[in-house]
Amino acid sequence: MTTDSKRPLTLRDVSEATGVSEMTVSRVLRNRGDVSEKTRTKVLSAAKELGYVPNKIAGALASNRVNLVAVIIPSLSNMVFPEVLTGINKVLENTELQPVVGVTDYQPEKEEKVLYEMLSWRPSGVIIAGLEHTDAARAMLSSAGIPVVEIMDTDGKPVDAMVGISHRRAGREMAKAILKAGYRHIGFMGTKMPLDHRARKRFEGFTEVLAKEGVEIEDREFYSGGSALAKGREMTQAMLARSPELDFLYYSNDMIGAGGLLYLQEQGVSVPGQIGLAGFNGVELLQGLPRQLATMDACRLEIGRKAAEIIAAQLEDPEAVIEKHVTLTPTISYGDTLKRR
Amino acid sequence: MTTDSKRPLTLRDVSEATGVSEMTVSRVLRNRGDVSEKTRTKVLSAAKELGYVPNKIAGALASNRVNLVAVIIPSLSNMVFPEVLTGINKVLENTELQPVVGVTDYQPEKEEKVLYEMLSWRPSGVIIAGLEHTDAARAMLSSAGIPVVEIMDTDGKPVDAMVGISHRRAGREMAKAILKAGYRHIGFMGTKMPLDHRARKRFEGFTEVLAKEGVEIEDREFYSGGSALAKGREMTQAMLARSPELDFLYYSNDMIGAGGLLYLQEQGVSVPGQIGLAGFNGVELLQGLPRQLATMDACRLEIGRKAAEIIAAQLEDPEAVIEKHVTLTPTISYGDTLKRR
DNA sequence: ATGAAAGCGCTAACAC
DNA sequence: GTGTTAGCGCTTTCAT
């Protein structure tokens, strides 16, 4: 066992304890170069005995290599980004790379700051949510000299690579399905988030298709904060009180949609006959509700996975030819709240 | 604007661009020591112009200071730890410190590995979930020479500091409330997680109180994976088919409890008259369900906050006298599924 | 108020 | 297979 000393141990300590040079100790600890089995075991056991923990700070400075991938996301609190992280982890686990995550709370200035902080650790790559950044952030990304993958959204021009879905198209597809099912009086509910560009793009795609058919959103409501399930319930109640003629409610996420669905069931409203519903995200969590909300999968796991693969591949071989624009295609699940025609 | 060069800029580049010594540039960038207003602005504008991003690796090595706090948690996918992280963030935002999170998937060996990786970056402090670790992990923690706070649980002896609730007590309190309400035929459902020590402790406390009254758990079921809501539904159905005499169901978390609640409502079972229910965690998400599940708050936000405060205080003044054992007291909410007596 | 020198703990590059 | 030397980019310390 170790005695608790003030100063962390260094290579030198291990070197002195074994009589082996620092350099060879370093080689053993990193599995680099040829070392005789004898010294190898001697060093290894001494390092363990002493409780030596390598100093990556020094190692990174000397080797100019940092096996960190900066992952920058807007939020941890809605299940979509944790799932992306899971996908990233799955891939990076098989490499030397380690993800480090930063959270921006959907604020561009905070994103800029977080990015700056992370870049100052000289990571080997960056995965960052969205295509919209401040000019300064974009400049940092492009001059960092490392692979950058912008994820979630593909409606726009990336700094380097991008992996995601087209949210505009997602909105369009859902609008088509709704119109095809015969609904014509549509209400919309979503977050009060001018900075959630993906939600905005879905909305734009959605209204675009409606407009082509001469249909307009007849009522809308936005919320912020609080339990999404409860908000969906409240907003649905309020909207239907206000606009009883509506025959479809489009929610910008599954949680508020589920709240609406629960409310309508309690009221004995027939879904999808009297009113149809749809959300967005394909939240696994909601399986288990009495009825399944129509939704669209956002391919979160796959996005994380693919993004990590791009970073890993590019670091492995900087010359490799890699597909830098990956657009995944989400599928609609009709569930029990959207008529199928 | 910057031209995209291969090599990241160094202090020297800024120094040469301004004609100011590296040392003074460094001082300006860190707001340390006296620098004339004139050189200060000159340096600042040049740094910005060039797009200089400091190299924290080098800075950390030279100064022997790393403003990182390692946060090690079992999982990101169940909302409890993200909330702890939020609490930590709130506090650290007002300091120089930055959290870096590692995930262990409830596996001791992975925890050990993650801890080792993180310590090799020489963080200024560690916040780690749980009191149970491998011997090696415990040794690393105690010999790291930095503040360590073990969180969530206080039923045990910490390496250094601890902040949490007593899960044994939480289990006991819930058992008391259930017995007091007159229920006697109790079923239990939970995750199949031999390594979730906190769930285990709650269960132990729970059965301990029951035993004193001569009551025993009459049926139990464990699950793993999948949507918790759906699992709660399925397990509840199965258990009641098997053990129709049960008059109370205790769930190890709110999500499966909510699944059970939804199922019972559909079946027209009277809750809490015919059957009572309780979960654990106080998940805000569930507000918005037709009826509120009885539960117990795990004080997640507060735990994160307090843990971060301990780290920050200790780093600010290593001599300061700090309360190192903080036990928070969760409160029962009876909701609509547990009779009040 | 500013600069020069030394060195943080490690690894690349080159001996031997 | 092993050792030596130099230096990564910064900050500390000391000088001016």
For residue range A107-158, list pLDDT tens digits in order.
Answer: 999 999 999 999 999 999 999 999 999 999 999 999 999 999 999 999 999 9
Strands B68-73 and B98-103: parallel
Give the closest nucleotide to A61 (alpha carbon vs C1').
D8
Structure confidence at residue A2 (pLDDT) = 47
Q: Which chain C nucleotides are covered by protein, judged by CB under 7 A?
A: 1-13
Cα–Cα distance measured from residue A189 to residue A203, given in angstroms and rounded to the nearest whole number? 10
Reduced to 3 states (helix: H, G, I; strand: E, B; else coil), residue B334 is coil
- Contact predicate B55/A120, CB 8 Å: yes
Structure confidence at residue B262 (pLDDT) = 94
CA dihedral B254, B255, B260, B261 (to 10 degrees): 60
Q: From residue A326, how far is each of A38, A145, A167, B123 by CA, in Å?
A: 50, 21, 14, 36
Which of A120, A139, A286 lies closest to B51 in CB terms?
Answer: A139
Taking an 8 Å cut-off on Cβ atoms, the answer to whether A5 and B145 are in contact is yes
Taking an 8 Å cut-off on Cβ atoms, the answer to whether B57 and A57 are in contact is yes
DSSP assigned state of B9: P
> What is the average pLDDT across A310-332?
95
Q: Which of A41-50, A302-311, B4-13, B38-47 has the lowest mean pLDDT?
A: B4-13
Q: Which residues of B touch A86 (CB under 8 A)?
A: 76-77
Residue type for position A4: D
Residues in chain B: 341
Residue type for position A339: K
- Distance, CA of A73 to C1' of C9, in Å: 33
Cα–Cα distance measured from residue A109 to residue A121, given in angstroms and rounded to the nearest whole number? 19
Cβ of B23 near strand C (under 7 Å)? The reply is yes
Please give, rounded to a whole number of angstroms, the shortest distance from the CA of B230 to a CA of chain A.
4
- Distance, CA of A176 to C1' of D11, in Å: 62
Cα–Cα distance measured from residue A52 to residue B218, given in angstroms and rounded to the nearest whole number? 51
- Kindly report the number of other CB atoms within 10 A of residue A303's CB atom: 27
Q: What percent of chain A has pLDDT over 70?
A: 99
* Model confidence pLDDT, tens digit, residues A213-226: 999 999 999 999 88
pLDDT at B4 over 80: no
> What is the average pLDDT across B172-183?
97
Left (φ > 0), alpha (ψ -120 to 50) or beta: where does A224 sit? beta
* Model confidence pLDDT, tens digit, residues B217-229: 999 999 998 889 9
pLDDT band at B79 (very low <50, low <70, confident <90, very high): confident
- Contacts of residue A70, defined as CB under 8 A and 6 or more positions apart, other chains included, come to A99, A100, A102, A115, A118, A119, A121, A123, A125, A126, A127, A128
Taking an 8 Å cut-off on Cβ atoms, the answer to whether A143 and B229 are in contact is no
pLDDT band at A336 (very low <50, low <70, confident <90, very high): very high
Taking an 8 Å cut-off on Cβ atoms, the answer to whether A262 and B288 are in contact is yes
Q: What are the φ and ψ backbone dihedral angles of A86, each rounded to 5 degrees?
A: -60, -45
Taking an 8 Å cut-off on Cβ atoms, the answer to whether A287 and B232 are in contact is no
- Contact predicate A277/A201, CB 8 Å: no
Quote the mean pLDDT of chain A: 95
Alpha-carbon torsion (A205, A207, A210, A214), positive or negative: negative
Q: What are the φ and ψ backbone dihedral angles of A19, each rounded to 5 degrees?
A: 75, 15
Cα–Cα distance measured from residue B265 to residue B251, given in angstroms and rounded to the nearest whole number? 17
Q: Where do runs of H (alpha helix) occur along B51-134?
A: 56-63, 80-92, 108-119
Which of A58, A82, A227 lies closest to B288 in CB terms?
Answer: A227
Tokens of B324: 């190192």
Q: Which residues of A touch B86 (CB under 8 A)?
A: 76-77
DSSP assigned state of B297: B
Please give, rounded to a whole number of angstroms, the shortest distance from the CA of A69 to a CA of chain B.
12
Cα–Cα distance measured from residue A288 to residue A303, given in angstroms and rounded to the nearest whole number? 25
Taking an 8 Å cut-off on Cβ atoms, the answer to whether B83 and A98 are in contact is no
- Contacts of residue B250, defined as CB under 8 A and 6 or more positions apart, other chains included, come to B174, B178, B186, B187, B188, B189, B206, B277, B278
Q: What are the φ and ψ backbone dihedral angles of A195, each rounded to 5 degrees?
A: -100, 0
pLDDT at A1 over 70: no
- Contacts of residue A216, defined as CB under 8 A and 6 or more positions apart, other chains included, come to A207, A210
Q: What does strand D contact on the protein, if contact means CB under 7 A?
A: A 19-24, 27, 33-36, 38-40, 58, 61-62, 64; B 7-8, 10-12, 22-23, 26, 29-30, 32, 54-55, 58-59, 61-63, 65
Cβ contacts below 8 Å, chain A against chain B, sum to 141
DSSP assigned state of B291: S
Q: Which residues of A touch B53 (CB under 8 A)?
A: 116, 119-120, 140, 144
pLDDT at B330 over 90: yes
Nearest 5°: the CA angle B178, B180, B182 is 80
**Burial label, B173 (beta-carbon count in 10 A; 0-12, 13-18, 19+):** buried
Q: At what angle do helices A37-50 and A22-30 cross, to 10 degrees?
A: 90
Strands B68-73 and B125-129: parallel
Question: Smallest Cα–Cα separation from A129: which of A119, A137, A139, A120?
Answer: A137
Taking an 8 Å cut-off on Cβ atoms, the answer to whether A231 and B288 are in contact is yes
* Beta strands, E only, B180-304: 186-191, 217-223, 248-251, 276-278, 295-296
Structure confidence at residue B2 (pLDDT) = 47
Structure confidence at residue A177 (pLDDT) = 97
pLDDT band at B5 (very low <50, low <70, confident <90, very high): low
Reduced to 3 states (helix: H, G, I; strand: E, B; else coil), residue B60 is helix
> What is the average pLDDT across A5-15?
89
Q: What percent of chain B has pLDDT over 70?
A: 99
Cβ of B32 near strand C (under 7 Å)? The reply is no
pLDDT band at B282 (very low <50, low <70, confident <90, very high): confident
Tokens of B126: 């560690």
Cα–Cα distance measured from residue A51 to residue A29, given in angstroms and rounded to the nearest whole number? 13
Q: Which residues of B touch A5 (CB under 8 A)?
A: 143, 145
* Model confidence pLDDT, tens digit, residues A165-214: 999 999 999 999 999 999 999 999 999 988 999 999 999 999 999 999 99
Cβ of A30 near strand C (under 7 Å)? The reply is yes
CA dihedral A127, A130, A135, A137 (to 10 degrees): -30
- Contact predicate B246/B274, CB 8 Å: no
Q: What percent of chain A has pLDDT over 90?
A: 91
Q: Which residues of A touch B7 (CB under 8 A)?
A: 145
**Burial label, A229 (beta-carbon count in 10 A; 0-12, 13-18, 19+):** buried
pLDDT band at A33 (very low <50, low <70, confident <90, very high): confident
Cα–Cα distance measured from residue B115 to residue B124, given in angstroms and rounded to the nearest whole number? 13
pLDDT band at B1 (very low <50, low <70, confident <90, very high): very low
pLDDT band at A5 (very low <50, low <70, confident <90, very high): low
Q: Which residues of A touch B5 (CB under 8 A)?
A: 143, 145
